[in-house]
Amino acid sequence: MRRGATYYDSASKAGTENEFMIWVQLKAESKLVLPNFNNLICMANEKQNGKVVLNLEELSKVLAKHEKEIEKIEIYRNEASIIIEDKPKNVKVFDL
């Protein structure tokens, strides 16, 4: 998933690159259904040093409420183009 846009060979997605992915893995016994993350991630209109700023404050609040049911949280981002603010507690961040 984290390399899908880059690896999928198609003229319809020419110029598309993977920039950001968040993976939330629940514990095996969890029945939790998390909301769509689209409305919980804020992308700043302004860039810092040519990078897009993603603020995860609202997402972090939602995930904090359910931390006992979450096994792990991973963020994959293109370090050259993405700055992450207010990331969730105990998240591991990786470069794409």
pLDDT, tens digit (0-9, with 9 covering 90-100), for 40-52:
999 987 777 889 9
The answer to whether position 2 is within a domain reads no
Convert the pLDDT of each residue in 10-65 to its tens digit. 555 556 677 899 999 999 999 999 999 999 999 987 777 889 999 999 999 999 99
The answer to whether position 87 is within a domain reads yes
Convert the pLDDT of each residue in 66-77 to its tens digit. 999 999 999 999
Q: Print the domain residue range for 35.
A: 22-95
The answer to whether position 16 is within a domain reads no
**How many C-beta atoms lie closer than 10 Å to residue 66's C-beta?**
13
CA trace torsion 53, 94, 14, 81 (10° rounding): 30
The answer to whether position 80 is within a domain reads yes
Helix (H) or strand (E) holding 62: helix 57-65
Pairing label, strands 91-95, 51-55 = unpaired
Q: Structurally, how many domains does the chain consist of?
A: 1
pLDDT value at position 9? Answer: 54
Convert the pLDDT of each residue in 71-94 to its tens digit. 999 999 999 999 999 999 999 999
